[in-house]
């Protein structure tokens, strides 16, 4: 073999070796098994307005229940802001279940369908209320290898050739989002799973009773503020909040220190810091299904509901995560309707 042929052979071997080492990029292909197991949800609607066209598919003939699923569907089909947290179970074959309360048996509440491109459609009902025949349709996308799902109200698809919705963009109802994450543990949770310092962020709206008058500053500034509130106030039609009006946007920031035994207490060493007011105190409970509630102390105590989910940095294989859990929380009260999250510091 000539020197030239030897060089050519060596070059071909090197090229083949290089090609073997090149990683192949492949898109995730999803099916019903991509959604399997227990997920925690946090849902919110930030603005008022009628539900998106096409939802619900039936006419409500009764009332939604006070269960997490009932609160979710009542909010999605209402005309005002709402927030809710809860737990959904996917069986990996297209069926969705939930329980009316922690520790009770799961009940079928709907179905879901996953497409190869990881888009998902879902139809849910509230069998715990008196209008179980009313189905609410949702649609969205799966991400993080099945670890997260984002859903919106399944609005009527735009007419072919329509320019109102850009290609590839799904348009949900007014400000509606439903976010799901894998729950922390399928085997159960306890108060000890919340330990250490967390930062939390929640956004939504401030509310007040329609019969309540809030003192305003005198003069032109006061009149301008009153006019602005009047123009943005909308009826809040959701369970337990009839007669409330929205008075403006609201963002809540703070830090919590959980002791693993049901107490939230600021660190005494930080009491003299300039922003020590961001450290909150209170109590919390965690249910065996990884849902929970907390009460933050103050002049007017604030109650929040939450779910403990796997950390996005811990992977989403469904196995026990190594990192601290993340918190998905909501506040739905006479003074605020917000939703958000808590992350370990």
pLDDT of residue 34 exceeding 90, the answer is yes
Residue 13 has pLDDT above 50, yes or no: no
pLDDT-derived band at 169, boundaries 50, 70, 90 = low
Which residues neighbour 302 within 8 Å (Cβ) at sequence distance 6 or greater? 295, 296, 331, 333, 336
How distant is the alpha carbon of residue 66 from its chain centre? Answer: 18
Query: If you compute the radius of gyration of the chain from its CA atoms, what whole number of angstroms results?
Result: 25
The DSSP output letter for 135 is: -
Question: Residue 224 above 60 pLDDT?
Answer: no
Domain extents for the chain?
A: 32-156+171-182, 191-344
For residues 39-44, average pLDDT: 95
Say yes or no to pLDDT of 320 above 60: no
Beta bridge partners of 304: 294
Average per-residue pLDDT for the chain: 78
User: Which structure tokens are listed for 75?
Assistant: 């909010």
**Cα angle for residues 101, 107, 113 (degrees, 5° grid):** 120
pLDDT at 237 over 90: no
Mean pLDDT within 157-166 = 50
pLDDT at 92 over 70: yes
26 token code pair: 């492949």
Label residue 27 by pLDDT band (50, 70, 90).
Answer: low
Backbone angles phi, psi at 70, to 5 degrees: -65, -40
In the predicted model, what is the mean pLDDT of residues 330-344?
A: 90
Rounded to an integer, the average pLDDT of 66-95 is 91
The predicted-structure confidence for 240-274, as pLDDT tens digits, reads as follows 344 567 788 888 888 999 999 999 998 888 888 88
**Tokens linked to 123:** 């139809």
Which two three-digit tokens encode residue 145? Answer: 């290898």
Most confident of 75-89, 100-114, 144-158: 100-114
| DSSP helix/strand/coil, 229 | helix
Q: Residue 84 forms beta bridges with which residues?
A: 43
Q: Is residue 345 a contact partner of residue 198, using CB atoms and an 8 Å limit?
A: yes
The residue ranking higher by pLDDT, 133 or 50, is: 133
**pTM (2 d.p.):** 0.77
Structure token pair of residue 40: 């925690």
Q: With helix as H, strand as E and coil as C, how does 275-286 read?
A: CHHHECCEEEEE
Q: How far apart are the C-alpha atoms of 331 and 265, rounded to whole Å?
A: 20
* Phi, psi (rounded to 5 degrees) for 204: 170, -135
CA distances, 204 to each of 74, 209, 339 (Å): 17, 17, 6
Give the mean model confidence (pLDDT) for residues 331-343. Answer: 89
Segment holding 341, helix H or strand E: strand 336-344
Neighbours of 80 (CB within 10 A): 22
């Amino acid at each position: 073999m000539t020197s030239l042929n030897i060089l050519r052979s060596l070059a071909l071997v090197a090229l083949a070796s290089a090609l073997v080492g090149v990683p192949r990029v492949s898109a995730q292909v999803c099916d019903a098994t991509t959604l399997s197991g227990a997920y925690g949800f946090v849902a919110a609607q930030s603005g008022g307005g009628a539900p998106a066209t096409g939802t619900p598919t039936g006419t409500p003939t009764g009332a939604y229940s006070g269960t997490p699923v009932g609160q979710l569907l009542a909010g999605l089909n209402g005309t005002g802001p709402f927030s809710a947290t809860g737990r959904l179970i996917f069986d990996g074959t297209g069926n969705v279940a939930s329980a009316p309360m922690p520790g009770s048996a799961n009940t079928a509440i709907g179905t879901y369908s996953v497409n190869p491109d990881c888009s998902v459609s879902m139809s849910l009902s509230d069998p715990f209320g008196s209008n179980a025949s009313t189905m609410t349709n949702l649609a969205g996308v799966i991400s993080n290898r099945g670890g997260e799902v984002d859903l919106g109200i399944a609005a009527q698809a735009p007419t072919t050739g329509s320019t109102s919705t850009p290609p590839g963009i799904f348009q949900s109802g007014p400000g509606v989002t439903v976010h799901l994450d894998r729950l922390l543990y399928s085997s159960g949770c306890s108060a000890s799973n919340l330990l250490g310092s967390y930062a939390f962020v929640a956004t939504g709206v401030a509310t007040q009773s329609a019969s309540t008058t809030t003192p305003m500053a005198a003069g032109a500034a006061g009149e301008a503020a009153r006019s602005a509130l009047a123009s943005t106030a909308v009826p809040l039609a959701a369970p337990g909040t009839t007669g409330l009006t929205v008075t403006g946007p609201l963002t809540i920031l703070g830090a919590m220190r959980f002791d693993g035994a049901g107490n939230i207490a600021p660190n005494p060493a930080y009491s003299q810091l300039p922003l020590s007011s961001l450290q909150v105190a209170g109590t919390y409970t965690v249910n065996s299904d990884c849902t929970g509630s907390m009460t933050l102390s103050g002049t007017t105590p604030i109650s929040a509901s939450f779910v403990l989910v796997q950390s996005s940095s811990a992977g989403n294989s469904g196995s026990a995560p190594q990192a601290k859990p993340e918190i998905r929380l909501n506040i739905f009260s006479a003074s605020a309707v917000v939703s958000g999250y808590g992350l370990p510091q």
